[in-house]
A and B are shown apart, each in its own frame.
Chain A
Amino acid sequence: MRVIIIGAGQVGSSIAADLDDTHEVVIIDCDPERVDELNYSLDVLALHGDGTSVETLEEAGVERADMVIASTDNDETNIVTCATAKAISEAFTIARVKNTEYLRTWQRSEKAFGIDFMVCTNLLAAESIVRVVGLPAARDVDSFAGGKVQMAEFEVDAESPVANQTVSEADRFDSLTFAAILRDGEVTIPRGDTVIGPGDRIVVIGSPQSVQGFASSVSPDEPPGTAEEVVIVGGSEIGYHVARLLEERGFKPRLIEQDADRARELAEELPGTIVMESDATDIDFLEREYIGDADLLVSALDSDEKNLLVSLLAARLGVERTVAVIDTTPYVDLFEAVGVDVGVSPREVVAEEITRFTRDGGAENVALIESDKAEVLEIEVDADSVLAGKPIQESIASLPEGVVIGAITRRREFITPRGDTVIKPGDHVVVFVDSCAIDDVSPKL
């Protein structure tokens, strides 16, 4: 596959590095020194030029390209680049944006701007932060269908009330599907009478509320969800989205923002969040508001150093876990070494997302279980799919073992899949697929 990447910053070069051994990669940047450097360090063709110009794209061979990835730091440049590429070629276009308004516009039609796939840095970063909140017992959490569906993997230990129960006993939630049980590295598709043993890992797919509910029945000692107190420092776009996503999941986070106007704006946007206008390094304030009692503190200020400072201060006051947004990707390890519990680099998150997407082609969204034992795919069902227009019982019968329909969303509404549910074209389906079956199943869906 011939892939053209525009923008050789942290995101672009990281994607290039991931793809260069399996694909033909051309990378374009307007900084000649950076171009030189890449030509020596990676097995790619680096070109100097402006990605929005037709000549540069043609020089990069856009008419032969299968994919164009616009990943500069400027949203408008990325959008125009994709639109230009679409106008002169058939390539699949991917744009990275920071502004969620563009994402919303694109989601409306999924054709807007000539972009086939759009990733939003701020939103992805916020999503990956939110994933570590709330489900302490979960080993892995992933969202699908714009947050309407969640996949989670839990480890069941001997003390868990769920241990030694059958699946039908453990399943007390309407909108939850038991996708798989992983035992000694083997994937089992559970049935109602399958017994959950201690040490098993369970993969469930369902609405965020039901996954949340199931988490507390797996380990009632670590009350997840609403009991968890989260403090967000910094009302940046990422901070805002973290608060918004947490609200959607029923949390009542607190958000600290220093700027009065921005604080008011956030308070208006976020009805379920307590917005406080203060300097997050004001110790008196932190003590008065008992910030030290929080279970989790997310620092999403606009500078890495401030985030480090706030995280260390919070840890010292007694906050259990700290998550810091770190813009400079190489700092992540360093910050985690000196005391930040989780460092999230928005650029890294985006690069990973794009790479993952280029690997898996058609699926809207993919999560890997136990690195490669199984995959959870989100698919938009079209009329040709074996799933379309039939009750699930029938369509599952025509597929090999190891496939579970975990959840369906229709017009952004959650539908619990049952044997007699009929899937319609246009529905989004979240499917669990055992890796032995993946090559056989993917084309049929």
Chain B
Amino acid sequence: MKLRVDYRASLRLVGTVLKYLTVPLLFPLVVALYYGESVLPFVVTMAVTVLIGTGLERLAEEPDIGAREGFLMVAMTWLAVAFVGAIPYLIEAHGIPFIAQPIHPESTLGNPANALFETMSGFTTTGATVLGDISFDSHTRGIMMWRQLTQWLGGMGIVVLAVAILPELSVGGAQLMDAEAPGPGIEKLTPRIAETARALWGAYLGLTVLEIVLLHGLNVTGHAPGMGVYNAIAHGLTTMPTGGFSPEAKSIEAFSAAAQWVIIPFMVAAGTNFALFWHVLTGEPKRLVRDTEFKSYLGIMGVISAILAGVLFFGDGLMSVAPAGETYDQVYLEGIRTAIIGNVEPAIRQSVFQVVSIVTTTGYASMDFNAWSAPTQYGLLFAMFIGGSGGSTGGAIKIVRWYVILKSLRRELFTTAHPEAVRPVRLAGRTVDERAIRGIYAFTLLYLVLFFVSTGLLHLDAARAGFDVSILETMSAVAATLGNVGPGFGVVGPMGSYLDFSNSSKLYMVLLMWVGRLEILPVLVIFTPEYWRR
């Protein structure tokens, strides 16, 4: 069989990306130096990336990227960075034989499956964690900064970043970005794709810096104790990619209401199509206000938040007795009940924060929403399927797809009554191509099939391993990893972790995060024989 895919070209580009991963690795290295920690985890990783990178680069002379090579390159890049990115965690836990002692031998990330889970969760901006004890007692600040940085790199997309800075990707760049970018299709903002990629990354970088400055500003003015420079940077790096890794065990609950209010608009921005920011900056602010998807996005979050704020305010949304074995206790529960019930600001803040966090798939928590009553939790489970806007850093199915699906279903109802009617589906006045609609149906159906099948598989595997999880917990774990949301309910709740799942379940979820981040089709296609044959 003669392969029709030039896999060497794809792998060569993966090599180039790996080689350049050395540069961001400098950041946690500097942090480690600052705090007087060992820089070995990062130095070794840098050496490994350069080695593998240059090795792969020798595979092909001049890579010629077509559509098929693009899928392979993008899928392989994400897998490769996840593997390489796990190295610092492993070194922290195990040290290097004959050279260095382990720094934190008790770290849960010493288990390779856990380390891979954590990096994949980071790069895909899922934010699901197996860290166990989230504190600077069990992990160095440098390692924790690397964990936050993986999310920031993955948010706008490693490949988009590569297109922005690597001249050799100027030709196949659109192809690659299309395979990686969230949402159906990409919008070329400028004639040159590298400039488009730079514009997107520029907006992303700008918003991140702005958030860091504002958060630290709150700290300086005394409105956010705990939001020191390290925490301000850490949260800036994990909000904009809709990641959700926080170096605080209590996530955003650890900070003041003011800090929580500041984070909300940045999560909203992260779930917005970044092309719209470009239009705002280039003098067309009306495009933002007129955008149908943006309006639906705000509308959906507004409606769900309003409902949840109501049930929280009147107390129906909160449990009254803490179930045994939960991640919180009766004292915690009584505390939040007195804080929220009957109080307008906390009720609104908690519901808005949680809804925005889940819909945008950020996954931060401003409280342990395991303390919410079952119906309100189902509301959040439903929100996990909505997702941010196309072209944002958010995950899940995305507003634009739901919008097109609803409109085309309405069209079906109409043509049932009037078979001769010709009705194009319109999105903000523009007609949507019928092939694109078919693609959206296929994606959504695959997403749901994958959700149900995975829930079944994980539940079986948990039973096999003797791990006691409810079906809601399993469903939320699948929705949270496939949609790159992060926390689910119960054991995988915002204050819990995925640690207790078996290694096989964790590796399966690594696959779900990978497939979910790249929006299923670009990954699944490389597993079909038709892809490899002529």
A residues with a Cβ closer than 8 A to B are 256, 260, 263-264, 266-268, 271, 274-278, 285, 289
- Are B431 and A289 within 8 A (Cβ)? no
Q: What separation, in Å, do the CA atoms of A277 and B421 have in the docked complex?
A: 6
The prevalent SS among residues of B at the interface is loop
Q: What separation, in Å, do the CA atoms of A289 and B414 have in the docked complex?
A: 13
Q: What separation, in Å, do the CA atoms of A275 and B421 have in the docked complex?
A: 6
- Are A289 and B422 within 8 A (Cβ)? no
- Are A271 and B422 within 8 A (Cβ)? no
Does B285 interact with chain A (Cβ within 8 Å)? Answer: no
- Are B420 and A289 within 8 A (Cβ)? yes
Q: Hey, which chain B residues are within 8 Å of A276, CB to CB?
A: 418, 420-422
- Are A268 and B421 within 8 A (Cβ)? no
Q: Hey, which chain A residues are within 8 Å of B422, CB to CB?
A: 260, 263-264, 266-267, 275-277
- Are A271 and B421 within 8 A (Cβ)? no
- Are A271 and B420 within 8 A (Cβ)? no
Does B36 interact with chain A (Cβ within 8 Å)? Answer: no
- Are A275 and B423 within 8 A (Cβ)? yes
Q: Hey, which chain A residues are within 8 Å of B418, CB to CB?
A: 274, 276, 289
Q: A264-B424, A271-B426, A277-B422 are in contact. List 20 more A-B contacts (CB 8 A).
A: A260-B422, A263-B422, A264-B422, A266-B422, A267-B424, A268-B424, A271-B429, A274-B418, A274-B421, A275-B421, A275-B422, A275-B423, A276-B418, A276-B420, A276-B421, A276-B422, A277-B420, A278-B420, A289-B418, A289-B420
Interface residues of B in 14-71 (CB under 8 A from A): none
Chain B, Cβ-Cβ closest to A285: B420
Q: What separation, in Å, do the CA atoms of A83 and B429 have in the docked complex?
A: 37
Interface residues of B in 410-436 (CB under 8 A from A): 418, 420-424, 426, 429, 431
Q: What separation, in Å, do the CA atoms of A360 and B412 have in the docked complex?
A: 54
Q: Hey, which chain A residues are within 8 Å of B426, CB to CB?
A: 271
Q: Hey, which chain B residues are within 8 Å of A285, CB to CB?
A: 420
Q: Hey, which chain A residues are within 8 Å of B423, CB to CB?
A: 267, 274-275
Chain A, Cβ-Cβ closest to B430: A268
Q: How far is the CB of A145 from chain B (nearest CB, A)?
A: 24
Q: How far is the CB of B423 from chain A (nearest CB, A)?
A: 6
Q: Hey, which chain B residues are within 8 Å of A289, CB to CB?
A: 418, 420
Name the residue in A256, A267, A285 with the highest tally of chain B Cβ atoms < 10 Å from its Cβ.
A267
Q: What separation, in Å, do the CA atoms of A275 and B423 have in the docked complex?
A: 7
**In the complex, the 9 A-B pairs of residues with the closest C-beta atoms, listed nearest first:** A276-B420, A267-B422, A278-B420, A268-B431, A275-B422, A263-B422, A268-B424, A277-B422, A267-B424
For this complex, 17 residue pairs linking A to B, each with C-beta atoms less than 8 Å apart, are A256-B420, A263-B422, A264-B422, A264-B424, A266-B422, A267-B422, A267-B424, A267-B431, A271-B426, A274-B418, A275-B422, A275-B423, A276-B418, A276-B421, A276-B422, A285-B420, A289-B418
Interface residues of B in 423-482 (CB under 8 A from A): 423-424, 426, 429, 431
Chain B, Cβ-Cβ closest to A289: B418
Chain A, Cβ-Cβ closest to B414: A274
Q: What separation, in Å, do the CA atoms of A274 and B422 have in the docked complex?
A: 7
Q: What separation, in Å, do the CA atoms of A275 and B422 have in the docked complex?
A: 5
Q: What separation, in Å, do the CA atoms of A39 and B429 have in the docked complex?
A: 55
Q: What separation, in Å, do the CA atoms of A71 and B530 have in the docked complex?
A: 60
Q: What separation, in Å, do the CA atoms of A256 and B422 have in the docked complex?
A: 10
